[in-house]
Chain A
Amino acid sequence: MKVAILQFPGSNCDWDAEHAVKEVLGIPARRVWHKDPLPSETEAVIVPGGFSFGDYLRCGAIARFSPITADLQRFAGQGGQVLGICNGFQILCEAGLLPGALIRNDCLEFRCVNQALKAEDSNDRFHSSKLGSNLLLPIAHGEGNYRVKESTLSDLEENNQILLRYQGNPNGSLNDIAGIRNREGNVYGMMPHPERAVEPYHPTLDGLPVLKAFLEPILSAPAVEPVSQ
């Protein structure tokens, strides 16, 4: 198994993420229950969307205490590749793997729309030349309003840690931020759902380059079978 997709009680995009990685991109992946250890052969982790622990207290606040989150922190600390999508992004923020927090949308409502986004030139992998500068990806969240203290925000901007920005801000996020990475470039978080834009019947296929950018270190490894679509 190469990609571990964490399953917390209340995760609900775990199947979607597995489908996109395994069936669409052809990379071995499986779901790992939050009480089980992170398998030793894990090469990348996706923390999927949903409502872990019902979003009670704060989004992601309880998942941070799940047994697997300690493994995840260790894995990330050793340079392992981690992507948090939606609730997964919230969990990564709560677990201290990414800075900032996601609070209630400024419209005070849940928003599920196809969202126009602009890809930033963050690093070699997340670069507009690879992703396309304008993307259309589904968003579906009630708490996607990204907040971070001013000094950290300047750091994020200065170090090119912004991955995606909203075009037409749907939730009040600072600097239109839709996704960020850590400074080291191995932990990624985003509110949009790339795994919902990978099939011909989806609104776009813009999720494919995003997932491929994240999985590039695995994709370029020699043992991997060619990507099938």
Chain B
Amino acid sequence: MTDNTTSLPPNPDPCLNVEITPELVSQHGLLPEEYEDILRILGRVPNLTELGIFSVMWSEHCAYKNTRKLLRLFPTEKKDKDAIGQVLVKAGEENAGVIDVGEGWGVAFKIESHNHPSAIEPFEGAATGVGGIVRDIFTMGARPVLLTNSLRFGDLDSPLVKRLFRGVVSGISHYGNCLGIPNMGGDVYFDSCYEGNPLVNALCAGILRHEDIQKGAATGVGNPVYYVGPGTGRDGLGGASFASRELTEESAEDRPAVQKGDPFMEKLLLEACLEMMAIPGLVVGIQDMGAAGLTCSTCETASRGESGIEIDLDLVPQRESGMNSYEIMLSESQERMLVIVKRGRERELEEVFEKWDLHAARIGEVKEGDRMVVRHKGVVVADLPAKSLTDEAPVYDQPVSEPAHVVQAREWKPESVPELGEGEVAGALESLLSHPTIASKRWVWRQYDHMVMSGCTVEPGSDAGVVHLSIAGIDKRLAIANDCNNRFCYLDPYRGAQIAFVECMRNLACSGAKALAVTDNLNFGNPNKPEAYFLLRECVKGLADACAHFDVPVVGGNVSLYNEHGDGAIDPTPVVSMVGLIEKAEMVTRSSIERGGLDLVLLGGLPHEMGGSYFLQTQYGKKEGLVPEVDLEAEARLQDLILSEIGGGRVESAHDLAEGGLLVALVEMLFGEAPFGARVTVDQLGPSGRLDGLLFGESQGRVVVAVEPNSTSALLDNASKAGVPAQTLGQSDDSGELLLQVEGKAVLSADVSSLQKLWEDAIPARMSSS
């Protein structure tokens, strides 16, 4: 090179000077053939910033490389076009799906994982997980009205797990409480498979008018592109920080790999955005800067808008000095949004953000064509076809192989475990009630503000959380339930995923809610391992078939793969979250009884299947067995009956049989304010022919309902007409004692308040000991 180039200014952005080596490509998680695709698309070698942009947009998180084909199996709209709950915005179209809930109102909702950040830094990881999902909801134009979480941790006796559990719960509490969105709890499971790799899935739902649904599209050439929210820093660069080390003189040591959340900023952003979106015709498109920050929001809005987009990074508010284009484009600083407004109406946006003391920086505009152009310090640092980033990511089918343990589970025989004696029932029940998965989660949800917004109708701890939509001024109630029993999914992924679905839906039915739609969070191991991919594929198939059977579509969700740690992958965990609607106040139903003197009626027949049960875990330390059968037709009959009986005013309380089976469900129904008791008589052991199968088996499609005795015969008649097996087990009373007789023999005589204490203290006691 000759000296005459020195008259030109030195390249202001070091990202343009880095040689793209195979090592650098590999460090960005791109395969050699993927890099070949990039060369073909660009017709040249990308610079480092462009490589970084491709690497995040083509990551599993953004592009669903390994799951996109599988996700197509999910029904995304209702077959019955007259039913309530029509899908207004389908899965994958926008930041969150939206369904109709009648009278011109819609509900936007979605679940998203923050597993890996929470494993490293539980408080911030979980907090920013809440922040991210809330932004996805208000980006749609919806006022967030509820939060829930699906959490999974290892064995709670481990000090590490206690630290993670405490950190995650306080992170969620800190962020959600400050936002003032009621957190209705959710589900928490403890299983050693999650040791070192906890799952933190956060859900948010919001309400909006149909006409207020916002789009994440950049349209209208010449419309300005705004950056709103706090400044960009280097946080969240995480695995990509190697590049920054090479590129700047500043130390990389202090850079957090996990983002830092500021719920106060998010609250301001939420209110400012809703205020701005309420101005008619102002906002053209809006998208939050979540994963892959500025990169994802610019190329996705351009791609959806069939437009080009051009931004200048010098105009991006920054809270650190000396950031290069790679860092600014890939930063995952929190609480930021990209907004495209009508040209000429910029002041209207700026005034709203001035009121809320937030940055609103005009950083670019919508362009003709299809390019995403990024400038920094006067030079173009990225010039890419926007659609290549969003639509041309590679899609893979991975090889599958059925794991040996799945085959073994099918061959399991109940005779392999000894029959439980009558004298062992009390001990087995106590072990189950003390297992943290079954025990009361009050320790968790008393840290969440579930009553803010004045809508909490059924507090956490019942089969589903229910909020009244008074904030929208409408007399409707939204019910939410989450479910996924990893043990079943591990042993039989297809059935396990179906159980997650039917149980979730059954929880809604027991609460008086009609199920409308699903959001799912697929938490799995490394998809490149054939056994892990088999589990993923079978779970998706099982869930998709159940959704289709019940005409309950999937309107969005999230995939989290590579959940592995030292001992291998987590159990497959396809978390199912379902939103339901309760139209009438009288339909609201709780799982615990509110008085004595009620008939306790079992619907669905005597349970008998022990495979995969918690009983096998607490009694024998075994995760094995044939997973209970799922009969979708029978399940539909049962749930229709429950809803019609609740509607007919005959059911005072309803609780489904889940982890721990019949006996756990019965005692949970008695755990209330007063010292309730019950006398229960079962005159035969049922199909299993054994006490443990009857009392602790986790057969599906079973519910216990509490009924005013005058209504019992009508309910039994209706059950018989509907083809649902039903039998009266006994009656609740105020004795504070549970007496259980099976085949004429007394098998349990227990003080309910002592059982309740075991159940309530199990988690707090573990958390107060180190």
Contact = CB atoms under 8 A, between A and B. Distances in A.
Q: Do A and B bind each other?
A: yes
Interface of A: 9-10, 12-13, 15-16, 19-20, 33, 35, 49-51, 53-56, 109-113, 138, 140, 142, 193, 195-196, 198-203
B560 interface: no
A140 B263 contact: no
B454 A19 contact: yes
B448 A55 contact: no
Interface string B698-729: 00000000000000000000000000000000
Interface in B172-218: 173-174, 177-180
Contacts of A20: 454
A9 B357 contact: yes
A196 B454 contact: yes
A55 B452 CA distance: 17
B454 A199 contact: yes
A112 B451 contact: yes
A140 B477 CA distance: 22
A15 B144 CA distance: 13
- Which of B170, B173, B449, B453 is packed against the most chain A CB atoms within 10 Å? B449
Nearest to A50: B180
A9 B268 contact: yes
Given A10-B267, A110-B449, 12 more contacts: A9-B267, A12-B179, A12-B267, A16-B453, A19-B470, A51-B264, A54-B264, A112-B177, A138-B451, A196-B452, A196-B454, A202-B454
Interface in B250-276: 262-265, 267-268
Nearest to A109: B447
A201 B263 contact: no
Contact of B452 (A53, A109, A140, A202): A140
A196 B455 CA distance: 8
Contact of A12 (B446, B452, B456, B585): B452
B38 interface: no
A113 B177 CA distance: 13
A196 B450 CA distance: 11
A56 B264 contact: yes
Interface in B343-358: 355-357
B454 A53 contact: no
Interface of B: 170, 173-174, 177-180, 262-265, 267-268, 355-357, 445-457, 459, 468, 470-471, 477, 585, 588
Contact of B457 (A19, A51, A198, A201): A201
A16 B470 CA distance: 10
Closest 3 CB pairs of A and B: A12-B180, A54-B264, A16-B454
Contacts of A33: 355
A56 B459 CA distance: 29
Nearest to A52: B264
Contacts of A202: 454, 456
Nearest to A139: B451
B451 A140 contact: yes
Nearest to A113: B446
- Which of A110, A112, A140 is packed against the most chain B CB atoms within 10 Å? A112
A58 to B, nearest CB: 14
Nearest to B467: A201
A195 B454 contact: yes
B447 A112 contact: yes
A9 B357 CA distance: 9
Contacts of B264: 9-10, 51, 53-56
Contact of B471 (A15, A53, A203): A15
Given A12-B179, A19-B470, A51-B264, A112 B454 contact: no
10 contacts: A9-B357, A10-B178, A13-B452, A15-B453, A15-B471, A109-B170, A110-B170, A110-B173, A112-B447, A203-B459
A54 B454 contact: no
A196 to B, nearest CB: 5
A12 B176 CA distance: 11
A55 B471 contact: no
A198 B170 CA distance: 29
Contacts of A200: 585
A193 B180 contact: no
Nearest to A200: B585
Contact of B178 (A54, A109, A111, A196): A54
Contact of B449 (A53, A56, A140): A140
A109 B268 CA distance: 24
Contacts of A199: 454, 468, 470
A214 B446 CA distance: 28
A140 B262 CA distance: 20
A193 B178 CA distance: 16
A203 B471 CA distance: 17
Contact of A13 (B170, B180, B477): B180
Nearest to B183: A112
- Which of B355, B451, B457, B588 is packed against the most chain A CB atoms within 10 Å? B451
Given A9-B268, A54-B263, A201 B468 contact: yes
Nearest to A11: B180
B468 A111 contact: no
Contacts of A110: 170, 173-174, 177, 447-449
B449 A112 contact: yes
Contacts of A49: 452
B468 A16 contact: no
A142 B477 CA distance: 28
A112 B457 contact: no
A203 B179 CA distance: 22
- Which of B178, B452, B468 is packed against the most chain A CB atoms within 10 Å? B452
B142 to A, nearest CB: 15
A138 B455 CA distance: 12
Contact of A55 (B178, B477, B588): B178
Nearest to A56: B264
B446 A112 contact: yes
Contacts of A10: 178, 264, 267-268
A195 B452 CA distance: 10
A12 B178 CA distance: 8
A16 to B, nearest CB: 4
Nearest to B357: A9
Contacts of B170: 109-110
Contacts of B459: 203
A16 B454 CA distance: 6
Contacts of B265: 54
B451 A193 contact: yes
B717 to A, nearest CB: 32
A46 to B, nearest CB: 14
Contacts of A54: 178, 262-265, 267
B582 to A, nearest CB: 10
A51 B178 contact: yes
Given A12-B452, A110-B177, A112-B451, A51 B267 contact: yes
Contacts of B456: 196, 202
Nearest to B266: A54
A123 B585 CA distance: 38
Contacts of B267: 9-10, 12, 51, 54
Nearest to A33: B355
A49 B262 CA distance: 19
Nearest to B272: A9
A196 B588 contact: no
Nearest to B264: A54
A111 B454 contact: no
B464 to A, nearest CB: 15
A13 B471 CA distance: 11
A195 B454 CA distance: 8
A68 B616 CA distance: 63
A13 B452 CA distance: 7
Given A9-B268, A9-B357, A53-B264, A140 B453 contact: no
Contacts of B262: 54
Contacts of B174: 110
A110 B468 CA distance: 23
A112 B450 contact: yes
A150 B193 CA distance: 53
A138 B450 CA distance: 10
B352 to A, nearest CB: 12
